[in-house]
Structures are given as C-alpha cells and as structure tokens.
Amino acid sequence: MHTQPMRGTSAARLRSLFARLHGVGPLLGLALICIAGALLNSDFATFDNGMNVLTRTAFIGIIAVGMCFVIISGGIDLSVGSMAALIAGLVILSMNQAGSWGFPPLLCVALGMLVAVVLGGVFGLAHGLLITRGRIEPFIVTLGTLGVFRAFLTYFSNGGAITLDNDLSDAYAPVYYADLFGIQCPVWVFAVVALLGGLLLNRTAYGRYVQAIGSNEQVARYAAVSVDRVKVVTYMLLGVCVGVATLLYVPRLGSASPTTGLLWELEAIAAVIVGGTALKGGSGTVFGTVIGAILLSVIGNVLNLTSIISVYLNAAVQGFVIIAVAFLQRRK
C-alpha cells in the first residue's frame, strides 16, 4: 500500500476534530440543555436541584452501565424493569421474613441487600445460559422473562403492593437518604459503578472480548475467545447492576407494586444509545452511557421546572431526543 501518512494536512486535522466532536456530542447536548434550563428557571442551576436529578438518575444510570456491556456485546436485555420489580418484591418479602424471625433490623437490611445482588446475578445467569447454551435470541429470551418477572411480582403482591415493615424501613432509609459531603448515597454508588464499568470495559481482557464479540462474533470465536462464557458474564453483570439499583430504590418508597420499574428497560436502553453506543454492538463507552442517562433525566427536570412544554409530554421530548441523536450519529 502506498497511502501516505495523513498527518499535517488540514483536511485530516478537520476530520479528526469532527471525530472528537462526535465523541463529545452527548456531553455537548447535555451542556446546551443545562444552559437552557438555567435561563428558563432560576431554580434549575441550584445544587439541590442538581443532586435531586442525579439521585433520580442513579437507578437508571446503574442499570444502563450494565446494559452498555450487553449492547456492546451485540445483545439486548428487555427484562430489566420487570427484573427490578421482582427483585424489589422479593427483597422486601425476605427482609420482612427475617424481621419476623426476630433478626435485628440492620442484619435484615444487609440480608435484603445481599438477596438483591444475588438474585440479579442468578437472573442474569439464567438469561446468559438460555442465550448461549439454549441458542435463543437475546431479544426473545428477555421478552419472555419481561413477562415472567412482572407476573410473579404481581402474583406475590396479589395485585397490590408489597410493603416493608416500619422498623425495617427506618433502618433501611439511610441507604437512599444518607449523604456524604452533601451528595446522596445513590449518586456515590452510581459514580463507583460507572468508574468500575469504564475500567472493566477499556482496561481488562474481558472488556476487550465484549467489544470483539459485538464487533464480529465469528472472528472472536476463531481467535480463541470463550464467546459463551463472556456473554454469560455480561448478562450476569447487568443482573447485578439491576440488583444494586433495586437495593438503592427500595428504601425510597419502601414498597414494590406491579408498576415498580415500569419502562425502565426502555430508559436504560435509550441512555446507552443516546450515549453513542451502536445498537448493533461492537463499540461504545461507559462515559457516554452515563451522560446519556443524565441527559434524559435532565430533560424531564427542565420540563418540570418550566411551563413551555407540558410535563405530560416528557416522554415525547425524550423520544425526539433519542431519534435526533441517532440521526446525528448515523454513519454511511
């Protein structure tokens, strides 16, 4: 090949500038919406409001980090909202059960948190095995469990709500409401999960394998990558993320009902896509996903604080943003 190295030419510099802009696109969008929000309502740009938004983002954000791995590996998980609901229900039931055995409240809470993470991992394992060993499309598997998880929650709750006992609720509350340096607990967890996710994706062999499988599964298989094992781990990772998000969410309301976690799967997937990850897999970033999640909840927040567009149209605005982002990021 006789292509000359392209350094130094102005066209190449312009192109690399665009490539870099491409990467910061979601960040730029977030900045623009924040500026608009600050101009429209003086309450927007306050620390309290910022923390409020970030705390609400944490649940979807943590799930989106796990979702990011699944989508980059070329898969999808539609069940995360239902999974969160079922985990929330089972966590409350098991904590109430432990409480009725006379366990101290703090032990009950620890037990419940452990149950959340383990259940997430087990559900993810089931997904992974059905997809790899069972050779069923991830879309189908998780469409099935989407129904299964929520139906079981509805069954356990008898169509109503499962409520955490009062003394347990008090012991559990700090997991959601406590703060460190003025920042609420879920935000810290979100930050840690995002940081770990970024490291895992970019700086470990596992993360490279995830990208390799999403980019071309055959090539990865021929290159001696244990494709099945990596995929199973990816779904387990997402399950654990759902578990973590749920254990942060439960103390907020102290109950689980058939509407818990409704449409979370769409919000998580949207955050990943808005963050610049291709739905067909292969490449994407955790950072982009985090920005995507924040961007989507800031939109809702701005609509809440201003009266230009009805807050009932929140989902419509988010939908337009998703389509617009996909439009800007399309490649030839």
Cα 222 to Cα 144: distance, rounded to the nearest angstrom? 31
* SS3 assignment, position 281: coil
Q: How far apart are CA 172 and CA 61, in angstroms?
A: 21
Closer residue to other proteins, CB minimum distance, 9 or 100: 9
Alpha-carbon separation of residue 301 from 36, 184, 222, 291, 304 (angstroms): 12, 18, 48, 15, 5
Q: Which of 205, 312, 327, 330: binder of other proteins (CB under 8 A)?
A: 205
**3-state DSSP of 66-116:** HHHHHHHCCCCCCCHHHHHHHHHHHHHHHHHHHHHCCCCHHHHHHHHHHHH
Taking the least distance from each CB to other proteins, the nearer of 212 and 232 is: 212
Contact region for other proteins (CB under 8 A) — 125-133, 218-226, 248-256, 306-314? 218-226
Instruction: Quote the least distance from Cβ 284 to other proteins, whole Å.
Output: 12
Cα separations (Å) of 217 from 148, 207, 281, 331?
29, 14, 10, 21
Residue pair 260/59 in contact (Cβ under 8 Å)? The answer is: no
Residues 54 and 186: their CA atoms lie apart, in Å, by 9
Q: Which of 91, 92, 220, 296 binds other proteins (CB under 8 A)?
A: 220
Which stretch, 92-100, 115-123, 196-204, 287-295, contacts other proteins (CB under 8 A)? 196-204
- Closer CB to other proteins, 153 or 201, in the complex: 201
Per DSSP (E only), the strands in the chain are 162-163, 179-180, 183-184, 255-256
Q: Given candidates 12, 21, 178, 328, which one binds other proteins under the rule CB under 8 A?
A: 12
Among 18, 47, 181, 222, binds other proteins (CB under 8 A): 222
The minimum distance between CB 77 and other proteins, in angstroms, equals 23
Counting residues that bind other proteins (by CB under 8 A) gives: 33
Minimum gap (Å) between residue 126 Cβ and other proteins? 23
**C-beta closer to other proteins: residue 149 or 209:** 209
Instruction: Find the binding residues for other proteins in span 29-88 (CB under 8 A).
Output: none
Q: Does 2 bind other proteins (CB under 8 A)?
A: yes
Q: Is 224 in the site for other proteins (CB under 8 A)?
A: yes
Q: Which of 154, 215, 314, 329 binds other proteins (CB under 8 A)?
A: 215
- Are the beta carbons of 123 and 83 closer than 8 angstroms? yes
Does residue number 1 form part of the binding site for other proteins (CB under 8 A)? yes
Task: Count Cα atoms within 13 angstroms, Cβ side, for 293.
Answer: 30
Matching residue, tokens 């927007």? 44
Q: Which of residues 273-332 bind other proteins (CB under 8 A)?
A: 282-283
Q: Does 6 bind other proteins (CB under 8 A)?
A: yes
Query: Is residue 203 within the footprint of other proteins (CB under 8 A)?
Result: yes
Which residue matches tokens 């970030």? 54
Q: Are 231 and 75 in contact (CB under 8 A)?
A: yes
Number of residues that make up the chain:
332
Provide, rounded to whole angstroms, the least separation between the CB of residue 201 and other proteins. 11
Q: Indicate whether 3 belongs to the interface with other proteins (CB under 8 A).
A: yes
- The partner residues of 255 in beta bridges, in order of sequence, read 163
Nearest distance from residue 9's CB to other proteins, in Å? 5
Instruction: Please state the closest distance from residue 291 (CB atom) to other proteins, in A.
Output: 23
Positions in the binding site for other proteins (CB under 8 A): 1-7, 9, 11-12, 199, 202-205, 207-209, 211-212, 215-216, 218-226, 282-283
